[in-house]
Structure 1
Amino acid sequence: MEEVMIRMRMSSHDAHYGGNLVDGARMLGLFGDVATELLIRRDGDEGLFVAYDKVEFKAPVYAGDYIEAVGRIVSEGNSSRKMEFEARKVIVARPEISASAADFLEEPVVVCIASGTCVVPKASQRK
């Protein structure tokens, strides 16, 4: 199936906890954006995210890190679309070196995985 990917730099605005730690809910927001694009490509409509059935946070994310969020539709019903998501850290901030230091990671670090269901009402499906 088709895969959608977005890449975002986490900013100090995303940091919610001490030490510039980013709230895990930010990853779910990225997954929501990926799901929206998947539904637009599949059905010509943004649809609605109904529920997550699994969310696992695997590694911390900090302000300055670059996160790549990917997702794909793994099964379909008449109006439901089951999706799987993965967020990976691809660039890590290095504030201990300098305020602007960062490293590209040769091997991305998986920071979150999830699966959930979206719905596009039959009347809204254009494809």
Structure 2
Amino acid sequence: MEKAMIRVRMSAGDAHYGGNLVDGAKMLQLFGDVATELLIRHDGDEGLFVAYESVEFLAPVYAGDFIEAEGEIIKVGNTSRKMKFEARKVIIPRPDINESACDVLDEPIVVCRAVGTCVVPKEKMRK
């Protein structure tokens, strides 16, 4: 099936809580962007995200973290596309060393998983 992935760095503007903690909703925003790419690749249209079946927040995300968000279409219906998503922390800041030090993680840390459904109206499908 079709897969897509984006990698972004969480900024100070993404931090919503004390200690530079990023709101979990940011991971859902990334999943929405991945879903949009998947729908464009599969149907030639951005489609609409209609529901999440499950969402699991598994580890905290902080400003400065690099996050990879990946998604895959796992079931194709008439107009619906069921997808699974995973967000992983791949680089972390190291303020204990200095203000610009960072480490690439040997093993990414899974921070969020989700399953959701998107719809592309028949009249908008181009593939």
Bin for the TM-score computed over the shorter chain: over 0.9
Q: Distance in 2 between matches of 1:69 and 1:119?
A: 20
The residue type equivalent to 2:112 in the other structure is C
The alignment status of 1:40 with 2:47, answered yes or no, reads: no
Aligned length: 127
SS in 2 for 1:12: coil
> Which amino acid in structure 1 is aligned with residue 95 of structure 2?
P
Q: What does residue range 1-16 of structure 1 map to in structure 2 within 5 Å?
A: 1-16=1-16
CA shift, 1:68, in A, is 0.2
Is 2:57 the partner of 1:57?
yes
Which sections of structure 1, spanning at least 5 residues, go unmatched? none
Moved over 2 A (4+): none
CA RMSD across the alignment: 0.5
Contact 2:38–2:73, Cα closer than 8 Å, also in 1: yes
CA distance, structure 2, for counterparts of residue 42 and residue 102 of structure 1? 36
Query: What is the TM-score of this pair, normalised by structure 1?
Result: 0.99
Q: Does 1:91 align with 2:91?
A: yes
Shift of 1:98: 1.3
Q: Is the partner of 1:45 in helix, strand or coil?
A: coil
What code does the residue aligned with 1:20 have?
A: N
TM-score by length of 2: 0.99
Aligned pairs for 1:58-73 within 5 A: 58-73=58-73
Q: Does 1:20 pair with 2:20?
A: yes
Report if the CA contact (8 A) 2:91-2:105 is conserved: yes
SS in 1 for 2:42: helix
The answer (yes or no) to whether the contact 2:2–2:42 under 8 Å persists in 1 is no
User: How far is the alpha carbon of 1:96 from its aligned partner?
Assistant: 2.1
**SS in structure 2 opposite 1:86?**
strand
User: How far is 1:7 from its partner?
Assistant: 0.1
Unaligned 5+ runs, structure 2: none
Q: Which is worse superposed, 97-106 or 22-31?
A: 97-106
What amino acid does structure 1 have at the position aligned with 2:17?
A: Y
- In 2, the alpha carbon distance for the partners of 1:98 and 1:2 equals 41
